[in-house]
Structure 1
C-alpha cells in the first residue's frame, strides 16, 4: 500500500490532469473568487509538504546520501533544473521549520501562514540566534514568545509589515532587555558589514565598465542621499525640455524622445557627476604626488575634435575617449591635459592658467548665480567651469571673461557635436539639437 504522502501526490497529479483541459474562463464569478483563493492557499500547503520531504531527502540515510549527492539541494538541482540557489533556499527553510521553528511549519501546513510570510518570520527569528557571543544568547522562552507572536500576526499583516515587526520583535516580547540586545546585534552587523565590504571593476569591452559593490548600509544611505541631489525630480515640467533640476540633477526625460528615463540610468549619471565633482585637492597623495587624471591627445586632434584621447589613471590604467569628451573634462580642475606635439612629446601639461581659480569662480558667482543655459536654474556652486569663448585647445586663456557656469547636463551638451549653441543678448546660452 502506498504511503499517504505518495498517494496524495498521485491524487494531485490526477486532479491537475483533469483541470488542465478545462477553460478557466467558464468559471462563474463566485467560482473565480473561491478557486483563486483556495489555489493560493494550496500552493503554500504543497510547498510545506515539499519542504518536509526535502528535509527527509537531505537527512542522514536519505536519498541524497544514497545517490551520492552532497545535499538535498544538490540532488534537487540536478533533476529539476531550477538552479542551486532556489533549491538551497528551500533546503535551509525546511531545516529551520523542522528543527527550530515548528510553529511556523505548522502554520504552513494548515494554511494559516503563507510561504512569503514564513520566510520573513524565519529570517527575523534566525537573526536572534545566529552566532551569539557567550552571555548574549536570547532566552528560549523569549524566542518561543517571539515566534508565537509573529505567527499570530500573519492573519493581519503582509510580509512587508511582518518584516518591520520582526525587526523590532524584542520590543514586543522582551522590552526590558531589547535595547541592550539590539545594541549588540547592531555592533555585530557593523563588524560583518565592514568585513564584507567589496568593490570590483570589470570592463565590458564596449566602452563601459561594470562596477559591483557591497558596502555597509550607512555608507549606502549616504551615497544614495548624495545621488538623489542630482536625480530628484522638479516640481514642474521644465525637465521635459532637458533642463537640469534646481538641485543639480538631470532631466527626468530624454530631450530627444520625451521618454522618461529609468531611475537606474539617472543614478548612474548622478554617480558619474558625483565623481567628477570630487575635489582633487582633498584626495590622498598617490605615487608621491597629488592624485590626478591625465588625458593625452595631439593638439591637432584636440582642436579639430576628430581624434581620441587616452586617460591615464593610477599610473598604468589606460582608457580612450572621444575628443569632445576630453574637451568637456578639460574644463574641470583635476584633469591634467597632456597635449602632445607631432613627435608625441608633451608640449603642455596644464599650465597654471589652464584652470579657473576659486577666486575667479567666486567673482563670477557674484553676477551669475545659476547655470548659463537658457531656463536652467542649477546654482552656480553646483556647476562646472566652462570656457565660454574659444576652447582651451584652440589657444584660449582662462581669464574671468572666459568663465561660464554650466551644470553637468548642459556642459555635456556644450561639447556634444550634436548640439548647436547660441549666446543670447543677456549672456545665456541656448542649445538646439542639430538636424
Structure 2
C-alpha cells in the first residue's frame, strides 16, 4: 500500500507542475472531475487508517490524550478538523458494504456516504434490512446528481421509491419521533459575560424556529448600501428590536411594556455635561452617551441618596413620552422620522430634540419618533434634528456629508 501511495504521490506531483492554461475547457472540467474522484478515494484510505489507529490505541500509547489531539499535532490541523476526521472514521463502522464500495471507487463523497448510512439505519429500523438495502442502492445512484444536503432531504421520503406501502406509516413514525426529540432537546442558555454582555446559545423546536425566523429575517436585512454591519450584527440588532417591541406592547406580565428604568446616581450637572454614568438595577454601569440615549424614552426616577448610599427619596415618574402625547407623536410622524427609514411606530422610541438633561421639555414640539438604529445614530453623530415651519421634523446632515447642509425629511411615511 505504501508503494502504491508513493506512486500516486509522484503522479500527482507531476500533474501539479503541468501548465493548466494549455488545457481546453473540456479538459479542465475532466481534470476537475478526476481530482475530485481521486480526493474521495484518498480520503477513504485516510479514514480507514485513522479508524485502525484509533482502534489499536496507538495514539494513546504514544502519549496523546485522544486521536483528535494526536491528529492535530501529526497533520498540523485545527481541533475542529481533527475531530471531524475521527468522527467520519468512526462512521465507517456502520456504513453498508455497498456504500463503502462506492466510497472507495470515488462515486460518493464522505458526507454523502454518511447521509446514506444514516438514512439506511433509519429505514432498517422501520422497514427491515431488505428494504434498507434497496434504499442504499437508490441513494448511491442519486449521489451522482445531488449534494449531501439535498440527498438527506430526498432520503426522508426514500420509502416512496422502495416501499410505497410502508411509506406513510414510516413517515408518520419518523415525524412523531422527530417531534419528541425536538421537545426533549429544546433549550436556551443565557450566559453572563464581562461588561454586562450575554451569550445566547440553544436549540429551538420547529415551531419556535419558524416564529423566530419570521420575525428576525425581515428585520435583519441590510438597511441600505451604506449598512456596514455583518449578518451576525444585523441579527443582534433585530433581536434587540423585537425585545423593544415586546416592552412597548404592554402585554408582558408584571412590569412588561414599560421602557427601561434608569437610576442615575450622579449629580445633575454631571449628567447635563454628559460626564455622568448611570447604573441599571442589575448593577451594570452605562456610559454617559448611553444614559442620555436611553433617557429619551425611559422612566427616569430621580433618587436622593444618603451618605451610605441608602435611598432616602425617589421622585415620581415625570418625563416618559406616553399616553396621549405618544399617540399625537405617532399621528404626526407615522414612523421613524429619519430620512429614508421605513420602520413603523411600534419599533420607535420618542427622542427629545433638546435633551431632557439640557432642560428640554417633554412635549410634542420637543419630540420625534426614531427607530433604535437612528436613535443611536442621532446621539452618536453630528446630525441635527429640528421641527420645520410646518411642525414636522427635519434633519440637517453634518457638513462633511453635505457642505450645504440642506435639511432632509422622511417622505416614506408621508400621508397623502
Alignment TM-score, normalising by the size of structure 2: 0.79
Name the stretch that deviates more: 49-58 or 349-358: 349-358
Structure 1 residues 280-328: Cα deviation after superposition (integer angstroms, max 9, x where no partner) = 7555559xxx9954342431132222x14223243xx31322x332222
Match of 2:176 in 1: 184
Give the match's secondary structure for 2:397.
strand
User: More helix by proportion, 1 or 2?
Assistant: 2
Give the match's secondary structure for 2:108.
coil
Name the stretch that deviates more: 348-357 or 336-345: 336-345
Structure 1 residues 170-223: Cα deviation after superposition (integer angstroms, max 9, x where no partner) = 4544413223322332233213422x53232323x6xx8462312314434423
Match of 1:266 in 2: 234
Give the match's secondary structure for 1:150.
helix
Structure 1 residues 65-94: Cα deviation after superposition (integer angstroms, max 9, x where no partner) = 654656544443331121343333223323
**Partner Cα distance (1:102, 1:336) in 2:** 71
**Partner Cα distance (2:111, 2:94) in 1:** 19
* Equivalent residue for 1:46, pick from 38, 42, 46: 42
**Partner Cα distance (1:332, 1:88) in 2:** 50
**Partner Cα distance (1:88, 1:126) in 2:** 23
Match of 1:94 in 2: 89
Aligned-residue offset at 1:43: 0.4
Is the contact made by 2:123 and 2:131 (CA closer than 8 Å) also made in structure 1?
Answer: no
Aligned-residue offset at 1:154: 1.0
Give the match's secondary structure for 2:246.
coil
Is the contact made by 1:193 and 1:215 (CA closer than 8 Å) also made in structure 2?
Answer: yes
**Partner Cα distance (2:277, 2:243) in 1:** 19
Q: Does 1:214 pair with 2:212?
A: no
Match of 2:189 in 1: 198
Match of 2:277 in 1: 309
Aligned-residue offset at 1:419: 2.0
Cα gap change, 1:144 to 1:68, in 2 (>3 Å): farther
Alignment TM-score, normalising by the size of structure 1: 0.76
Match of 1:141 in 2: 130
Structure 1 residues 220-247: Cα deviation after superposition (integer angstroms, max 9, x where no partner) = 44233222343346xxxxxxxxxxxxxx
**Partner Cα distance (1:403, 1:420) in 2:** 13
Aligned-residue offset at 1:401: 4.6
Match of 1:384 in 2: 349
Give the match's secondary structure for 2:215.
helix
Is the contact made by 1:294 and 1:337 (CA closer than 8 Å) also made in structure 2?
Answer: yes
**Partner Cα distance (2:225, 2:88) in 1:** 44
* Residue correspondence of structure 1 range 215-294 to structure 2 within 5 A: 215-218=203-206, 219-232=208-221, 251-254=223-226, 261-279=229-247, 282-283=251-252, 293-294=261-262
**Partner Cα distance (2:356, 2:219) in 1:** 28
Match of 1:318 in 2: 284
Q: Does 1:166 pair with 2:158?
A: no
Name the stretch that deviates more: 141-150 or 65-74: 65-74
Match of 1:106 in 2: 101
Aligned-residue offset at 1:253: 3.3
Match of 2:404 in 1: none
Aligned-residue offset at 1:118: 2.4
Give the match's secondary structure for 2:297.
coil
Runs of 5+ unmatched residues, structure 1 = 130-135, 234-250
Match of 2:74 in 1: 79
* Residue correspondence of structure 1 range 24-35 to structure 2 within 5 A: 24-35=20-31
Match of 2:409 in 1: none
Match of 2:33 in 1: 37
Match of 2:414 in 1: none
Match of 2:368 in 1: 404
Match of 1:115 in 2: 110
Is the contact made by 1:150 and 1:162 (CA closer than 8 Å) also made in structure 2?
Answer: yes
Cα gap change, 1:138 to 1:175, in 2 (>3 Å): closer
**Partner Cα distance (1:400, 1:408) in 2:** 19
For the aligned residue pairs, the C-alpha RMSD in angstroms reads 3.5
**Partner Cα distance (1:139, 1:425) in 2:** 80
Cα gap change, 1:272 to 1:127, in 2 (>3 Å): farther
Runs of 5+ unmatched residues, structure 2 = 401-416
Aligned-residue offset at 1:53: 1.9
**Partner Cα distance (2:381, 2:304) in 1:** 23
Is the contact made by 2:301 and 2:317 (CA closer than 8 Å) also made in structure 1?
Answer: no
